[in-house]
């Protein structure tokens, strides 16, 4: 009998994503990149780069599998506006020390923009061009940020910028190509194998294509970042490639995800980040 292959479901990966970003931000706020803690800082920040690709991957999964895509997008939009409002208020109060850190950018601007763009192409209702408005606004603010510096970027420029959106769209492209690749594999197989049409095999193909997409995007982005001043360089971002190891173990199953878990998954990012920032200010 074949030994069962170790695998991770959606709940496992989402919990890992939360742990990973916690490690990243603990390093950001409490570990110095200089002196005796330099190595620890780079290790923690490097591990942290595995977090966003997981969030990006499940944004695509969310758009595809949600029962009510309008409700899903409105939830993301609500969280986006909430965090943006809080940022705008804090920016003009004594707590504006929080905005001396790159972590002040709004991750939900990235997630909502990516989700709306994926929804536009997935629904194939191309007259609903309003779904592309967030993408147009995001592209505009990211381009303006190159030439116009200032605190406004903290509120209106999304975290991970254009790279973040491309990563989300790359995972969606992998999802769209999965049926085609699977059909070609079945037609080229000389022996009839029912397993080739199983849901497990479909998920494996999607996992492989997602890893290829992640590899290609990060490779191209790295090359552009070291050859063009217009593309921001992040020496840690290359570590995002290791997220592929986790994606290869994804079995496509949902796992235990009650309503409270789904809200915790999304609210965890801004809440833990704000809490760590406040603690950092208080102890310093």
Please report, for residues 30, 40, 100, the alpha-carbon distance to residue 33 in angstroms, rounded to integers and kept in the order given: 10, 8, 16
Query: Above pLDDT 90, what percent of the chain?
Result: 50
- pTM above the 0.85 mark? yes
Mean pLDDT, the chain, rounded, equals: 86
Residue 250 in contact with residue 8, Cβ under 8 Å? yes
Q: Tell me, what's the pLDDT at 55?
A: 95
- What gap in Å lies between CA 192 and CA 179, rounded to an integer? 18
* Greater model confidence, 162 or 235: 162
Q: Tell me, what's the pLDDT at 76?
A: 93
Domain ranges of the chain: 10-161+238-283
Average pLDDT over residues 44-71: 94
Average pLDDT over residues 58-75: 94
- What gap in Å lies between CA 25 and CA 215, rounded to an integer? 24
Instruction: Give the contacts of 265 (CB within 8 A, at least 6 positions apart).
Output: 14, 17, 18
Instruction: Give the contacts of 41 (CB within 8 A, at least 6 positions apart).
Output: 27, 31, 32, 33
- What gap in Å lies between CA 58 and CA 246, rounded to an integer? 13
Average pLDDT over residues 107-123: 94
Q: List pLDDT tens digits, range 75-103.
A: 999 989 888 887 777 776 665 655 555 45
CB atoms within 10 A of CB 208: 16
């Amino acid at each position: 009998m074949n030994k069962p292959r170790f695998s991770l479901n959606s709940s496992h990966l989402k919990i890992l994503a939360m742990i990973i970003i916690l490690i990243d931000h603990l390093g950001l706020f409490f570990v110095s990149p200089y002196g005796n803690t330099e190595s620890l800082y780079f290790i923690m920040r490097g591990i942290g780069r595995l977090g966003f690709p997981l969030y990006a991957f499940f944004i695509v999964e969310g758009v595809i599998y949600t029962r009510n895509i309008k409700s899903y997008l409105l939830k993301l939009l609500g969280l986006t506006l909430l965090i943006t409002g809080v940022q705008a208020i804090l920016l003009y109060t004594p707590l504006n020390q929080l905005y001396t850190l790159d972590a002040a950018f709004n991750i939900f601007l990235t997630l909502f923009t990516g989700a709306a763009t994926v929804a536009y192409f997935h629904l194939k209702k191309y007259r609903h061009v309003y779904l592309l408005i967030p993408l147009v606004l995001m592209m505009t603010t990211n381009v303006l940020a190159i030439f116009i510096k200032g605190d406004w970027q903290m509120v209106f420029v999304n975290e991970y910028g254009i790279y973040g959106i491309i990563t989300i769209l790359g995972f969606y492209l992998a999802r769209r190509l999965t049926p085609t690749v699977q059909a070609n594999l079945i037609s080229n197989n000389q022996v009839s194998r029912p397993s080739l049409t199983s849901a497990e095999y479909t998920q494996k193909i999607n996992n492989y294509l997602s890893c290829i997409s992640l590899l290609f995007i990060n490779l191209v982005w790295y090359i552009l970042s070291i050859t063009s001043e217009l593309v921001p360089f992040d020496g840690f971002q290359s570590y995002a490639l290791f997220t592929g190891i986790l994606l290869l173990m994804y079995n496509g199953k949902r796992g235990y995800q009650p309503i409270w878990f789904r809200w915790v998954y999304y609210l965890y990012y801004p809440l833990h980040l704000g809490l760590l920032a406040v603690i950092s200010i208080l102890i310093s």
